[in-house]
Structure 1
């Protein structure tokens, strides 16, 4: 099994800077989802997602959770909500609201337990605000997000350049 490490030091700084304009393109059999990052409020989570995507960690994993009107969740190598990359990230709770299309890191009851599992909100969920680290938002493919069901695979998660945010 591959060993994954969270970004630190110069690597963290470089990836967080890149996240200002980078996009994640999640390819599924139902279409593509494009996510922009929020490194201004979640630099470590943004950088960690980019690093895992570049290591092809997410390729072939499934969205293991679908809660109608709430969330889809993926990024678990165990496929059942218990797996991760072998490290935990410290929480970066922020003021970004949980509105439709928000991308945030899943965690256990420990606030500092996020790793690789992420969720995308299907409808506004303000009760989650400041409880989970919001690190991105869907900018293309929300109809694909809405069509995802438990068991649907992420064929590939690629990082690509995107436009600078104004």
Structure 2
């Protein structure tokens, strides 16, 4: 199974223009309806024993996280990976390196309060305040505000995940 990335973006250490770092920022709705539009950056990830998931990327919201994901995918790191942890009504997690041989540098949490954890949201898993390779996809159709989880939300799942998640509903 191959991971295919069909985009190119840059990485920046600066805050994204217009990004909110205020946790009290007013966000309305649970924007689970995400569509690809002309010019959007996206990735197609093939999950072992499942199939393809199309993910819309938001490099302005989490530039380090997005670039890290792209670099790992382009290097083949995610090839053959599975969802190794699935919790009904919460999330499906993947991207773990069970060999311990991968030397991937972690990076700090990129908080952007304009991004929310809704059904199908694609985020990095938080490991002691750092991100590296593991991600999760929100598997709860109720409106969620997981901002207290301190994770970097980099993408939105566009297609494919709902069929996978049905087995855990």
Q: TM-score, normalised by structure 2?
A: 0.67
CA contact (8 A) 1:31 1:144 kept: no
Question: For the residues of structure 2 that align with 1:59 and 1:135, how far apart are their CA atoms?
Answer: 19
Deviation at residue 27 of structure 1 after TM alignment: 1.7
Question: Any residues of structure 2 matched to 1:12-161 within 5 Å, and which?
Answer: 12-13=11-12, 21-28=40-47, 29-78=49-98, 85-95=103-113, 96-108=115-127, 110-111=128-129, 113-123=130-140, 124=142, 126-129=144-147, 131-147=150-166
1:95-114 deviation digits (Å, cap 9, x = unpaired): 11110010110022x32x11
Larger radius of gyration: 2
Q: TM-score, normalised by structure 1?
A: 0.68
Deviation at residue 40 of structure 1 after TM alignment: 1.4
Deviation at residue 116 of structure 1 after TM alignment: 0.7
Q: Give the length in aligned residue pairs.
A: 131
Provide the secondary structure at the position in 1 that maps to 2:11.
helix
The runs of 4+ residues in structure 1 deviating greater than 6 Å are none
CA contact (8 A) 1:26 1:34 kept: yes
RMSD of equivalent CA atoms? 2.8
Q: Which runs of 5+ in 1 are unaligned?
A: 1-9, 14-19, 150-166
Question: For the residues of structure 1 that align with 2:156 and 2:102, how far apart are their CA atoms?
Answer: 21
Q: Which runs of 5+ in 2 are unaligned?
A: 1-8, 13-38
CA contact (8 A) 2:83 2:95 kept: yes
Higher relative contact order (CA 8 A, sep 6+): 1
